Structure 1
Amino acid sequence: MADIFVTYHTSILICGLIATLFLLQLIIADIVLFFNKHLAGHPIESDHQSFVFRATRAHANTNESIAIYILLLLFGLLSQSAPDWLAFSSGLYGIARLAHMSFYYMNLQLARSCAFGLGLIGLLSMLITGLTAWV
């Protein structure tokens, strides 16, 4: 079992970095909400000109895909897929999420959409990597 940690150390490290990014998004959203005196449980106005909206949506969007990432990473690890390819795919997803967050904060909608698409490619690549281990 310890061999899996050695073989997939890069993918596991990337998973930790993505978790750090996710935590950072949560902290930024909470700080922005706090300083804007937003009452917990009240809806946030849907306005892309508002940083409060963009910060909370960036976090929510990552929250929507993080479970898929974790499941695909586990699938890749447990199916003993190609370690380098799994690390590359995982890193692609992580870089795309960082870009997506940054572009969301800066309100660059086309760039944000491209980063989201790149993240989907990373997830699909993780799936393919896991599936090819079974062939």
Structure 2
Amino acid sequence: MVDLTQYNPAFLALGLTALLMLLQLLIADVLAIVKKQTPGFPIENNHASLLFRANRAHLNINESIAIFILSIAFAIAMNANSNVINGAALIYFAARAFYALSYYFNFKLMRSALFAVSLVALIVINLAGFVAWF
């Protein structure tokens, strides 16, 4: 039986990531209202627009959240090293949070670096799960 309490920091990272997603959704929605974006119509593809960047930041986390959740679930089910899982999960969350800020402020190089950090964190979680499985 897996002692789930050893993964509390990873569960915290899941909850914080959910909160981050909610905040990103609210930011994108409020900006759309302020900019009088017509619902159902595409947002202009323009990196100079904060609305575009906020929307892309929100959409981007939606692209990786399923991988994060499935990776955490797999690693925990395999009773993977909790220190590795907890650390990588918290790094994923921090990278995604700072990624969003970098997107909002249009810091392109920082945004790309933080995306890479979050991707490495996902790989580490998966690898830890497979190491435990073998």
Q: How many residues end up aligned between the 2 structures?
A: 134
CA contact (8 A) 2:2 2:79 kept: no
CA-to-partner distance for each residue in 1:63-114, whole Å, 9 max, x for gaps? 0000100000100111110111100111111111011101000001111001
2-structure distance, mates of 1:102, 1:13: 20
Task: Determine the structure 1 residue equivalent to 2:90.
Answer: 91
TM-score (norm. length: structure 1): 0.96
Q: Give the alignment of 1:39-78 within 5 angstroms.
A: 39-78=38-77
Deviation (angstroms), 1:3: 3.1
Letter in 2 for 1:41: G
CA-to-partner distance for each residue in 1:6-57, whole Å, 9 max, x for gaps? 1211111111011111111001000000111111110001100000000000
Q: Which runs of 5+ in 2 are unaligned?
A: none
Task: Determine the structure 2 residue equivalent to 1:100.
Answer: 99
Percent identical pairs in the alignment equals 40
Q: Which runs of 5+ in 1 are unaligned?
A: none
TM-score (norm. length: structure 2): 0.96
1-structure distance, mates of 2:3, 2:128: 19
CA RMSD of aligned residues (A): 1.1
CA contact (8 A) 2:85 2:125 kept: yes
